Amino acid sequence: MKSKLNMIAILALALVAGGAVMASDGLAGWWLLGETSGISAADSSSGGNNGYLVGSANFVTDPQMGGAVEFFGPSGGVVVPFSPAFTPARGTVTMWVNAARIHEADLVTMRTDRLVRRDANSLNYAYTLRIQKHGAVEAIIGNDDPNAEFPITVLHGAGGLIKTNKWQHVAMRWDGSVLAVFVDGKLVGAVPYNEVPDERRHSGVPGPAG
């Protein structure tokens, strides 16, 4: 991405461990992204996992939603240092997104360097939520089944779901058997997957990137 036309703005990223219903004891991270200066992104959950802006990312004030972060290029993102709380066997990631132009962009990415049952030590996706250039929402979850062809399960959503210059609520949920994606509160796709066991080890960090 080279210009503001490619900008994606993100507001209020949350990671909920253990299910789709947000509870005080299940909130692993909650970044409101309402800062007005600097690069620190405070975690409003009890975890205290503060992040920071990198690359082409800036705090802005949106007339409709208030504070947000703009991403102008592939280097832009919010990096959050690793915490075991970010690798729940079952969880939900939610956020508000406003794209000035529809293009391929990762919103949240967590990687793992260990898939136990596959005996795989290379870097793979633990989970990822992204927008595709045709306006689809794509979700990826790690697949630790040693009999599976690939170490990930991918959910390709229908095109045209993400609109330009419009705030939309996007979420992915993995519940131990089904990977699901929601846009504006509606289920737009679901696919079965094989759960990665809790003993996995991760070296990646979550962070939306435009």
Whether residue 161 lies inside any domain: the answer is yes
Confidence of residue 115 (pLDDT cuts 50, 70, 90): low
Give the separation between CA 77 and CA 175, rounded to whole angstroms: 27
- Per-residue confidence (pLDDT) for residue 104, from 0 to 100: 84
At 118, list the tokens.
Answer: 């596959």
Contact call for residues 9 and 69 (beta carbons, < 8 A):
yes
List the beta bridge partners of residue 200. none
Whether residue 199 lies inside any domain: the answer is no
Whether residue 200 lies inside any domain: the answer is no
Average pLDDT over residues 123-145: 83
Domain that holds residue 131: 4-192
Read off the CATH number of the domain in which 76 is found.
2.60.120.200
The answer for residues whose C-beta is within 8 angstroms of residue 48's C-beta and 6 or more apart is none
Share of the chain above pLDDT 70, in %: 70
Residue 46: closest CA among 28, 34, 63, 58: 28
Give the separation between CA 54 and CA 25, rounded to whole angstroms: 29
Average pLDDT over residues 192-204: 54
Interval 56-88: pLDDT, tens = 888 988 888 888 888 877 778 888 888 888 877
Whether residue 89 lies inside any domain: the answer is yes
How many domains in the chain?
Answer: 1
Please report the sign of the dihedral spanned by the C-alpha atoms of residue 77, residue 69, residue 167, residue 45. Answer: positive
Whether residue 36 lies inside any domain: the answer is yes
Interval 99-111: pLDDT, tens = 888 888 888 888 7
For the chain, the helix, strand and coil percentages under 3-state DSSP, each to the nearest 5: 5, 45, 50
Residue owning tokens 């596959």: 118
Contact call for residues 96 and 65 (beta carbons, < 8 A):
yes
Whether residue 197 lies inside any domain: the answer is no
Contact call for residues 78 and 57 (beta carbons, < 8 A):
yes
List C-alpha distances in Å: 150 to 90, 122, 136, 164: 20, 13, 22, 33
Confidence of residue 188 (pLDDT cuts 50, 70, 90): very high
Instruction: Say what the pTM is.
Output: 0.80
Whether residue 30 lies inside any domain: the answer is yes
- Per-residue confidence (pLDDT) for residue 62, from 0 to 100: 86
Confidence of residue 23 (pLDDT cuts 50, 70, 90): very low
Whether residue 207 lies inside any domain: the answer is no
